[in-house]
Chains A and B, each alone.
Chain A
């Protein structure tokens, strides 16, 4: 089947509950099996090792949930989007249920390159709520961002992430024992900011404040906290942390955020 005759179905789905512990490859294989179970007329690549023509949005870290994962699957036959959506819903575990489905232009850029903007919702359960001041914590977070980069340990390697490119903004909504942080990020060929990298750096600086002099300026505190990326241990500020990716969008030339699918594409259920 020639490329011209293929239909590009774009699907968004959730990654909730226990299934947030799936790794990216596990997720990819699971979605491919869902598409086969849904009996959609998927296209197959030609050549040595034929496989389904399907492409995914960027990998989500193990343990992070999402309301907005995406894939494009190429079909050899047009299936009304609502029909495809229903078939996928019937073939999916509830925690990976499809959210929307619709067709896009065959020549649109690949999802992974196009979806550069993501927002995360982070629910932070404080270990000692009474000892924490949200305004001060926000100040410390701003000081982390002001350092323009974070060096962190991944496995046994020290890596760095450039915050100038990848950090867009953060907003803290303090509640009783749980703070909710909305974190906006931008990915590029240079890399993407994993929320937990920023959270760990922030938590480390906050932990230092508890241990040391409370009056220290935020910048100094952060400087000292982040000097040695090899120094990792439980910091004990956040008892529990739940991260959810809440949207992934396209950023157009003017900086406007565009939905990967027109909202009208949501099939009526």
Chain B
């Protein structure tokens, strides 16, 4: 029987004095929008702690939209931290929503955000705490319909058995259609199976239970096709908020008490990026590029600050400095916010457009560290990945930064990119050393002690629907050899080299490249205690290896064995609209180190997304 929707805060209150950061669990924040009375209840959940999940813009957008719908109430859920989860289990308290402190299992819909691959076991932890069966096929008529959506659904096969339906793409319109359809089918008294089959008719909705997975020599991890007679689409294309500027620029309403990493107002100024970096999944999945006007952004910032009381606003997007009116927006905001102690920030800067004045303007006059994504150590390899920045860009930006008074610089690189050689690795060391040389040239002698340059090197994880989707991850032994080579190639003592944990990257690759066969491994890892895998202190590759062995899966083989071009891939049926021919062409150009321009600055490059989805880039002015 479905548990009643009722306030059970009194069950967790006695636990609060015994756990870390009790403010994670108390709700009653400023700006909550859910309604006590509703015909249809949705709980949107972020599969991590409150302070990680609260800043999420996707949930903020959908929360606002759903609560604006007549008869629908939307609440939020987060995963209790391990101390609280254990105490709840001990006390027999089920997972509760935040606003109403009601059992998550009492809602009509549980909507899971899928932020990245490493959240896999947290979904299972949440289902278990909520008392909802982990497998879609085992859920009964009284269980909530479990839907999922977010940035990481473009190879959702490893998670497919856990979700009843997956919403592919942007949810602004889609979430409402899905909820209305589920309300209709509930009120019509349809069975769960009938409701899910009907749900698959809402464009952009992938119902994994309606697809069969076929394995073959040319489909080592299987491919999914609609079961005969189900009417499910062969390919589910992502949804797009085509008129992005018409959507509410001020999604955020809730002001948390708990201190967060990103504790500020966010206004999404632009969506999509067409720079065309070949390793980047977001660069494909968020196309087309759509800007809001400077007027709309400035008005939204002013309104948002008054509504929330924040002292910082971030102009967010994949690449904010690409906005055709970026400078004007920043000027107007800084003028407007002078003498208020309120600062404007942007998430990151590009090397090729770095401007010290702008950098200072967005940091509230502070000169903290600067971070740049260089990605690769040689021009050849940067051409391979289509990261169109040059050593001259780096030179110019670093000089300008040091002259303007910055002292700390962090450079991001990847290791294990396709066609990478030892020369490219040595190139990373050479670039970092070169930045120190520049600093010694530019920075006055008495300040040189404060100069610090760090190179942060992640292991490349190939992602679905990118030109590198066929490529395997670099084997771990080779990763370790290249890491040693890099360390030994750095000349200056003041260059610090950091690695992203190769164990984590390996699992990320498994979850990015594998098929539905990975789901039992996730379940087995959770049974063996895996949860919060995105937290270094909780991640344990050994546990995953044991789980994989128990399921007869070889993690290294899944991560590192390339797919041959022409093979069937596990993610073909959930598409961002990119044409497979484009990806293949881009892959061949990559191997030949040929670059491809940005279609918001040059002509169409033929990725296929606009014609397939009936959408187009929308830019305010000509981009520089």
Interface residues of A (CB under 8 A from B): 17-19, 21-23, 25-27, 29-30, 32-37, 39, 44-45, 48-52, 62-63, 91, 93, 95
Quick check: B366 and A26 within 8 Å, CB to CB? Answer: no
Q: DSSP majority for the A interface?
A: helix
Q: Is the CB of B340 closer than 8 A to any CB of chain A?
A: yes
**7 pairs, CB–CB < 8 Å, chain A vs chain B:** A21-B16, A32-B309, A34-B309, A35-B309, A37-B30, A50-B341, A93-B29
8 Å CB interface, B141-179 against A: none
Interface readout for B1-27 with A: 1 if CB under 8 Å, 0 if not? 000000001000100110001110011
Smallest beta-carbon distance B257→chain A, Å: 5
Partner of A44, one of B29, B308, B339: B339
Taking the complex as formed, is B307 at the interface, i.e. its CB lies under 8 A from any CB of chain A?
A: yes
For residue B255, CB closer than 8 A to chain A, the reply is yes
Kindly list chain B residues whose C-beta atoms are within 8 Å of the C-beta of A29.
Answer: 257, 259, 263
Query: In the complex the two chains form, is B306's CB within 8 Å of A37's CB?
Result: yes
Which residues of the partner chain A approach B29 to less than 8 Å between Cβ atoms?
93
User: Please, which residues of chain B bring their CB within 8 A of the CB of A63?
Assistant: 16-17, 22
Compute the total of residue contacts between A and B using a CB distance below 8 Å.
Answer: 73
Q: How far is the CA of A18 from the CA of B308 in the complex (A)?
A: 20
In contact, A44 and B259 (Cβ under 8 angstroms): no
Instruction: Check B28 against A17 for contact (C-beta < 8 Å).
Output: yes
Residues of B within 8 A of A52 (CB): 311, 341
The answer to whether B258 has its CB under 8 Å from any CB of chain A is yes
Q: Select B28's contact among A36, A91, A95, beta carbons within 8 Å.
A: A95
Contacts of A93 in B (CB 8 A): 28-30
Asked if B259 and A26 make an inter-chain contact with CB atoms under 8 angstroms apart, the answer reads: yes
Contact B255 A33 (CB under 8 A): yes
- The distance from the CB of B8 to the nearest CB of chain A, in whole angstroms, is 14
In the bound assembly, the distance between CA atoms of A25 and B263 in angstroms comes to 13
Measured between beta carbons, the chain A residues less than 8 angstroms from B366 are: 48-49
**B354 adjacent to chain A (CB < 8 Å):** no
Residue of A nearest to B26 (CB): A18
Interface string of B44-59 (1 = CB under 8 A from A): 0000000000000000
CB proximity of A63 to chain B, nearest CB, Å: 5
Complex partner residue of A18 from B28, B306, B340, B365, CB under 8 angstroms: B28
- In the bound complex, residues from chain B placing their C-beta under 8 Å from that of A19 are 26, 28, 257
Chain A CB within 8 A of B562 CB: no
Q: Could you list 19 further interchain pairs (A-B, Cβ under 8 angstroms) beyond the known A21-B22, A33-B308, A93-B30? A: A18-B26, A18-B28, A19-B28, A21-B26, A23-B23, A25-B259, A29-B263, A32-B309, A36-B310, A36-B311, A39-B306, A45-B341, A48-B366, A49-B366, A52-B311, A62-B17, A62-B22, A91-B309, A93-B29
Residues of B within 8 A of A33 (CB): 30, 255, 308-311
Is B541 positioned at the interface, with any CB of A under 8 Å from its CB?
Answer: no
Q: A239: shortest Cβ distance to chain B, in Å? A: 10
List of A residues within 8 angstroms of B308 by Cβ = 33, 37
Question: Most chain-A CB neighbours within 10 Å: which of B26, B341, B364, B366?
Answer: B341
Measured in the bound complex, the distance between the Cα atoms of B308 and A204 in whole Å is 45
Residue from A17, A36, A49 within 8 A of B309 (CB atoms): A36
Nearest opposing residue in chain B for A39, CB measure: B306
Q: Could you tell me the distance between the alpha carbons of A87 and B258 in the complex, rounded to whole angstroms?
A: 24
**What's the nearest-Cβ distance from chain B to residue A125, in Å?**
12
Residue B400 at the chain A interface, CB threshold 8 Å: no
Task: Please tell me if B305 contacts chain A, counting CB pairs below 8 Å.
Answer: yes
When distances are taken between beta carbons in the complex, the residues of chain A under 8 Å from B306 are 37, 39
Which parts of B539-562 form the interface with A (CB within 8 Å)? none
The answer to whether B259 and A30 have CB atoms under 8 Å apart is no
Give the residues from 232 to 246 in chain B that come closer than 8 angstroms, CB to CB, to chain A: none
Residue of B nearest to A27 (CB): B257
CA of A51 to CA of B23 in the docked complex: distance in angstroms?
Answer: 24
B23 touches A26 (CB 8 A): yes
Q: Which residues of B contact A39 (CB under 8 A)?
A: 306
CB distance from B561 to the nearest CB of A (A): 49
Q: What A residues does B17 contact at CB under 8 A? A: 62-63
- Nearest B residue (CB) for A31: B309
User: Taking CB as reference atom, which chain A residue is nearest B310?
Assistant: A33
Using Cβ atoms and an 8 Å threshold, which residues of chain B touch A37?
A: 30, 306-309
Q: Nearest B residue to A29 by beta-carbon distance?
A: B259
The 4 tightest CB contacts between A and B, nearest first, are A33-B309, A36-B309, A37-B309, A21-B22
**8 Å CB interface, B330-360 against A:** 339-341
Q: Given A26-B257, A33-B255, A51-B341, is A18 in contact with B309 using a C-beta cutoff of 8 Å?
A: no
CA distance A32 to B365 in the complex (A): 21
Q: For A25, what are the chain B residues with a Cβ–Cβ distance below 8 Å?
A: 259
Q: B255: nearest residue on chain A (CB-CB)?
A: A33
With a cutoff of 8 Å between Cβ atoms, the chain B residues found around residue A18 in the complex are: 9, 13, 26-28
Q: Which residue of B lies closest to A47 (CB)?
A: B365
A261 CB to nearest chain B CB (Å): 24
Query: Which residues of chain B come closer than 8 Å to A48, judged between CB atoms?
Result: 365-366
Compute how far the CA of A35 lies from the CA of B342 in the bound complex, rounded to whole angstroms: 13
- Within 8 Å CB of A35, what residues of B? 309
In the complex the two chains form, what is the Cα distance from A222 to B305 in whole Å?
A: 55
* A45 and B22 alpha carbons, distance in the complex (Å): 32
Q: Give the distance in Å from the alpha carbon of A29 to the alpha carbon of B258 in the complex.
A: 9
Report how far A23 CA is from B13 CA in the complex, Å. Answer: 16
A53: nearest chain-B partner, CB-CB: B341
Residues of chain A with a CB closer than 8 A to B263's CB = 29
User: CB-CB contacts of B227-271 with A at 8 A, as 1s and 0s?
Assistant: 000000000000000000000000000010111000100000000
Shortest A2–chain B CB gap in Å is 14
**How far does the alpha carbon of A25 sit from the alpha carbon of B257 in the complex, in Å?**
9
* A133 to B: closest C-beta gap in Å: 27
Among B21, B27, B309, the one with the most A-chain Cβ atoms within 10 Å of its Cβ is B309
Distance in angstroms from B407 CB to nearest chain A CB is 15
Residues of chain B within 8 A (CB-CB) of A22 are 23, 257
Given contacts A39-B306, A44-B339, A44-B340, contact A30 B364 (CB under 8 A): no
B255-A21 in contact (CB<8A): no
